[in-house]
Amino acid sequence: MANIPLIEFRKVSKIYGSGEAEIRALDGVDLTIQQHEFVAIMGPSGSGKSTAMNIIGCLDVPSAGEYLFQGVATSGFGRAQLTMLRRHMLGFVFQGFNLLPRTSAIENVELPLVYRGVDAGMRRKLARDALARVGLAGRENHTTQQLSGGQQQRVAIARAIVTQPAVLLADEPTGNLDTKTSIEIMELITGLNRDQGITVIMVTHENDIAEYAKRIMRFVDGKIESDRPNPEREATHVS
């Protein structure tokens, strides 16, 4: 099992439209991502990076080829099975935070546990622990309007990790943040990968943000143009 990739694409293509209107968002992509990796996915608009992220996150499915998670092909999964995979194995962080307004930090973090049917007492404990892990102990009852942008993103990260996912999918996690706050958020995400072994897959347009990753993958025209290790970060691999 140790040699089986956590995530694998085998000749994955994604096609939208048909005929002259056909758009090949992904074009026969092969990739593997191992457990504990931190991978940054880059590329210009329309390069296929977001499509790849959506397929990894089970928000979309390939038009051709195969997506395997922990060695299991997902092509035979129905909607309910894909939902269960997202709910139990994946955590999501978005550029826009996607928090519920006028709702407390702890209630936002509890939400994935509600979907999993966790009882109220355990939900509250797990959510409180997750907020402490991202440096927000004491702010559990603050609403989103009472939190800064950086604090809101920390709440979003706490919500993503409260279920102890195998993979954290971060889509432009610093896109709405200033430089100082971006550094703080990236140090937090790096720590989750380094200290807790969470696999991180991050889409970003920013070179300095991508440099936090151990591996940098660049998409162009639906294909992987380059895939290189980042020597400055490789040494922090979790054993």
Is residue 196 one of the residues assigned to a domain?
yes
Q: Which domain holds residue 78?
A: 7-234
Per-residue pLDDT of the chain (239 residues; tens, 9 = 90+): 558 999 999 999 999 998 888 999 999 999 999 999 999 999 999 999 999 999 999 999 999 999 999 999 999 899 999 999 998 999 999 888 889 988 999 999 999 999 888 999 999 999 999 999 999 999 999 999 999 999 999 999 999 999 999 999 999 999 889 999 999 999 999 999 999 999 999 999 999 999 999 999 999 999 999 999 998 776 544 43
Domain with residue 195: its CATH number is 3.40.50.300
The Cα-based distances of 16 to 56, 66, 67 in angstroms read 18, 17, 18
Burial class (CB in 10 A: 0-12, 13-18, 19+), 169: buried
In a domain, 1, yes or no: no
What global pTM score does this model have?
A: 0.92
Q: Residue 31 and residue 203: Cα distance in Å, rounded?
A: 15
Do the domain assignments include residue 2?
Answer: no
Which residue from 90, 88, 141, 92 is spatially nearest to 115, judged by alpha carbons? 88
Domain count, the chain: 1
Which sign does the torsion angle of CA 64, 67, 73, 79 carry? negative
For residue 239, tell me if it sits in a domain. no
